[in-house]
Chain A
C-alpha cells in the first residue's frame, strides 16, 4: 500500500510538473514567436502593426542617413521589388553596410515606417542572413512570374 501511494504521488508530481511546464511553454511561446516578413509582404499589408516582427533584405545603396543626434540612423531595406524605410537609434553592427544583407526586428508604424529595436548583420562580410536571402529569392521569383 505504501509503495503504491508513493508511486501515485510520484506520478501526480510528474503530471503536475509536466502540466505546469507545458502551460508556461505554450503561453510564452505564443507571445514570443517573432515572424518574418519580406518587404513585398509588408508593402502588401500582410504584416501586423500590433506586434514585433522581422524584415530582411538588402540595405539600399545611398539610403543610410544619420540624424542630427548622431545616433539615430535611417535607411531603406529592399528586396529589389519593394522597399521599406527603417529608423534605428543606437550603434549599428560592424557588418552593417549599404548593399549588404540585413535583418531588422521591430514594429511597423502607421506611416509605413519600420522602427527597429534590433539590427542584425552578422559574422561574415559575404554572409547573407538566410531571411534576407529568402526575401530576395521570393521577390525575384515574383518578378520573373510577372515577366512571363
Chain B
C-alpha cells in the first residue's frame, strides 16, 4: 500500500509540474496575473507530493518491504538502521528520487523567498523549474520507478553496497545534489532574463544568493565525496580524476566562474551576456554530470545498473535543455545592452581573466573526461586518460587563477591602474615568494611544485589580510558578503597549502608483517600485533591491531579491518586513521599471507591532508556567509514596508 501511495504521489507531482511549467510561463507572456499566481502554490504542492513519495520509499526501506524490487536489491534485514534509511538514496532509482526532491525543494524555496521579485520574473523562474521537474519526474516514472514491485516478495535483501555503508555517504549525495540542482535556480533566472529581456543589476542581485547557496552545497558535496574515497577505498588517495569525480568538478568550475562574473554584473553591469551564458553552462554541466553518472556509460560505484533506455532519456533531455537554452540565448542575447566600460587593470578585467582561466581548465577536464567515451562510442577502440594528463594540464591553468585571486580583491572597480597595484603588492609578492621557497627547502627535499603551492597559499592569505586592513583603515562596513569572500579565499589558501604538502611529501609502503613484526615510515614505527575476528551487524571482520609509535613514545593503536559482508559475500577494506592537524597516519589491511598470521599491510603517512578538508569547509562557510548577506534581504524588507504603507494609505 505504501509503495503505491508513493508512486501515486509522484504521478500527482508530475501533473503539478506540468501546471507549474505551463500556466505561469503563459501568464508571464500574456501578462495575466491570475495565471502567474498559480506558480507559487504549484511549486509548494509539488514539493509536498515528492516529499510524500520520498517518505514512502524511506518507510519501505525501514520496514523491510522486500516486495519492492528496489528495497530487496539494496537492503538487508541485518543492515543497521541508519544505513537502511540512507539506502533510500543508495540505489539508482532512489538517488533520482532524491534529485527530484531537491529540485522541488529549491522550487518551493524560490516560491517562498521570491515575494519581492516582480510577479512576471518569479512566474518565469518557477515555470522554468517546473519544466526541468517534468523531465526528471517523467524519467523517474518511466525508466527508474523506485516503487516497482516484485511478486513473490524476496525473503531476504541483497544488502546495500558495502562501499556505501559509511557515514560520509550519508551526507555526500544530498549535499552534492543540493549543489547540482541548486544551479537549476541560476539557470531558471538566466532563462527568465532572456525571456523578459530584463537583465540589470537587480536581476544579478536576485540571482546571486541562489547561485552562492548552490555553490556552497556543491563544494561540500565534492569534498565529502573526496573524504569518503580517501577513507573508504583504502588507497589513501583523495582525488583520482575519475570521470565521476570530474562530473561534479566541472559544474563547480563553471559555478565558481559564475559567482565571480555575477559579482561584476551586479556591481558594474559588466559581462551580462557572459554571465547568462555561464549560468546556462553550469546547469548544463550538472545535467551532463547526471548523465555520465546515471546512464551507466561510466563504470563506477555510481553505475548501479546499465539500461540503455535511461542513457537515451537523459541524453535526449540534455540535448533539449542545452540546445533549447543556447538557441534562446543566440536569439535574445544580442538585445542585452552592454554595461559600463572598464579599464585595463580594473577588478572587472581581473575577474574576466579569472573566468577565462577557469573555463580553460574546465575545457581541459571536459576533454579528458569525454574523449574516451566518444572514442568508445565511435567504435575506435578503448582507451583511458590517466591522472598525469589532468595534473599536467590543470595545474598550469589554475595556478595563474590562484595568483589573480590575490590581485583581484585589491584592485579597484572600473579604472584600476597596474602601477598602483604593483607598487602596493611588490612586497607581499616578494615575501610570499621567498617564504614559499624557504618552506619547501625547510621540509627536507625541495620540490618545485610544493614551492609554487606554498607561494600561492601565502600570497592569497597575505592579500586577504591586506583587504581586511584596508577595510579597517577606511572605516568601511564589513558586510557578510565581504567576510564571505575573504573567508572563501582564505579557505582556498589553506586548501592549496594542504594539496601542496600532501602531493609532494606523502609516503606509503606495502609491507608484509608477521605478528610482532614492525615497519618504519616517515619516522613512525608500526608494530603489528596480529588480527582477531570480530562480528559486525551484517559482516564478519578480521580486525588488525597495529601499534603506532614515534621516538619511543606511543602514538596510537589502530584497528584496520578486512570485512566480508554476509549477504553479498563482498570483501571490504576498512582503513584505520589517526588524524591530527598536521598529518594522518593511515593503515589498511591487505590479505593474509600464510598460516602463521602474517598479513600484507599498507601504511601511509599523509602530512597536511586535513588542511584540504578544512580549506574546503572554510570555502563553504564563506559561500554561506555571502549568500546570507543583508543586501539580498534588504529589498524584501523594503518592499514589505512599502506594501504596508500602501495598505495603510488605503
Most A-side CB within 10 Å, residue of B381, B392, B396 = B392
- Which residues on B sit within 8 Å (CB–CB) of A28? 388-389, 392-393
C-alpha spacing A21/B400, complex, angstroms: 12
Q: A90 and B510 in contact (CB under 8 A), knowing A32-B389, A95-B571, A123-B300?
A: yes
Asked if residues A70 and B512 are in contact (CB atoms below 8 Å), the reply is: yes
A24 to chain B, nearest CB (A): 5
Nearest opposing residue in chain A for B570, CB measure: A125
In the bound assembly, the distance between CA atoms of A66 and B600 in angstroms comes to 11
Q: A32 contacts B388, CB within 8 Å?
A: yes
Whether the pair B571, A32 counts as a contact (CB closer than 8 A) is no
A to B CB contacts below 8 Å, 15 in the list: A20-B396, A24-B393, A24-B396, A25-B363, A25-B393, A28-B393, A29-B368, A29-B385, A31-B389, A33-B384, A33-B389, A36-B383, A91-B600, A125-B569, A129-B299
- One of A3, A20, A29, A123 near B341 (C-beta < 8 A): A3
- Write the B558-570 contact mask toward A (1 if CB under 8 angstroms, else 0): 0000000000111
Contact status of A54 and B384, CB under 8 A, knowing A91-B591, A123-B300: yes
Q: Which of A13, A18, A70 contacts B593 (CB 8 A)?
A: A70
Q: Which of A10, A29, A91 contacts B352 (CB 8 A)?
A: A10
Q: Does B579 interact with chain A (Cβ within 8 Å)?
A: no
Q: Which residues of B lie under 8 Å from residue A94 when comparing CB positions? A: 234, 570-573
Q: Which of B307-315, B353-361, B427-435, B608-616 contacts A (4 or more CB under 8 A)?
A: B353-361
Q: How distant is B342 from chain A, measured CB to nearest CB, in Å?
A: 8
Chain B residues with Cβ below 8 Å from A123 are 161, 163, 299-301
List A residues at the B interface (Cβ < 8 Å). Answer: 3, 6, 9-10, 13-14, 17-18, 20-21, 24-25, 27-29, 31-36, 54, 66, 69-71, 89-92, 94-95, 122-125, 127, 129-131, 134
How many angstroms between the C-alpha atoms of A10 and B349 in the bound complex?
A: 9
Asked whether B555 is an interface residue with its Cβ less than 8 Å from the other chain, the reply is: no
Whether, in the assembled complex, B344 has its beta carbon less than 8 Å from a beta carbon of chain A, the answer is: yes
Task: Check if A124 sits within 8 Å of B344, measured CB to CB.
Answer: no
Complex interface residues of chain B between 385 and 401 (CB less than 8 A to chain A)? 385-386, 388-389, 392-393, 396-397
**Chain B neighbourhood of A10, CB < 8 A:** 349, 352
**Quick check: is B367 within 8 A (CB to CB) of the other chain?**
yes
Once bound together, how far apart are the Cα atoms of A123 and B305, in whole Å?
A: 12
Report which of B368, B511, B568, B602 forms a contact with A125, defined as CB distance below 8 A: B568
For the complex of A and B, the 6 pairs showing the least CB-CB separation, nearest first, are A91-B590, A70-B512, A32-B389, A28-B392, A36-B382, A21-B360
**Chain A residues within 8 Å of B397, by CB:** 21, 24
- B interface, CB within 8 angstroms of A: 161, 163, 234, 299-301, 341, 343-344, 349, 352-353, 356-357, 360, 363-364, 367-368, 371, 381-386, 388-389, 392-393, 396-397, 510-512, 568-573, 588, 590-591, 593-594, 598, 600, 602
- Chain B residue nearest to A66 (CB atoms) is B593
B299 and A71 form a contact (CB under 8 A): no
Q: Which of B299, B360, B389, B573 contacts A17 (CB 8 A)?
A: B360
Residues of B within 8 A of A124 (CB): 161, 570
Q: Smallest CB–CB gap between A95 and chain B, Å?
A: 7
Number of A-B contacts (CB under 8 A): 108
Report yes or no: A6 in contact with B356, Cβ–Cβ below 8 A. Answer: no
Q: How far is the CB of A51 from chain B (nearest CB, A)?
A: 12
Q: How far is the CA of A126 from the CA of B252 in the complex (A)?
A: 33
Q: Which residue of the partner chain, among A14, A31, A131, contacts B382 with CB atoms under 8 Å?
A: A131
Cα separation A71 to B510 with both chains bound (whole Å) = 8
Q: Which residue of A lies closest to B364 (CB)?
A: A25
Residues of B contacting A91 with CB < 8 Å? 510, 588, 590-591, 600, 602
Chain A residue nearest to B296 (CB atoms) is A130
In the complex the two chains form, is A35's CB within 8 Å of B383's CB? yes
Asked, given contacts A21-B360, A129-B299, A131-B382, whether A6 binds B570 with beta carbons under 8 Å apart, the answer is: no
Residues of A within 8 A of B353 (CB): 13
B392/A17 in contact, CB under 8 A: no
CB distance from A79 to the nearest CB of B (A): 13
Contact of A29 among B363, B389, B571 (CB under 8 A): B389
In angstroms, Cα B346 to Cα A87, docked, is: 59
Closest to B562 in A: A94
Nearest-neighbour CB distance to chain A for B618, whole angstroms, equals 29
B299 CB contacts on chain A under 8 angstroms: 122-123, 127, 129-130
Residue of B nearest to A127 (CB): B299
A6 → B minimal CB distance (Å): 6
When the two chains form their complex, are residues B363 and A33 in contact, meaning their CB atoms are under 8 A apart?
no
Taken together as a complex, chains A and B put the C-alpha atoms of A3 and B569 apart, in Å, by: 69
Q: Which residues of chain B come closer than 8 Å to A3, judged between CB atoms?
A: 341
A residues near B570, Cβ cutoff 8 Å? 94-95, 124-125
Known A-B contacts: A25-B363, A66-B593, A94-B234. Give 7 more (CB < 8 A).
A18-B360, A29-B367, A35-B382, A36-B383, A70-B600, A71-B512, A123-B163
Which residue in chain B gives the minimum CB-CB distance to A56?
B382
Contacts of A89 in B (CB 8 A): 510
Q: Which residues of B contact A14 (CB under 8 A)?
A: 356
In the bound complex, residues from chain A placing their C-beta under 8 Å from that of B384 are 33-34, 36, 54
A10-B352, A34-B385 given; A69·B512 CB < 8 A: yes
Q: A25-B364, A25-B393, A95-B571 are in contact. Are A33 and B510 (CB under 8 A)?
A: no
CA gap between A70 and B594 in the complex, in Å: 9
Interface pair A33/B512, CB less than 8 Å apart: no
A85-B383 Cα distance, complex, nearest whole Å: 21
Is B392 within 8 A of A24, CB to CB?
Answer: yes
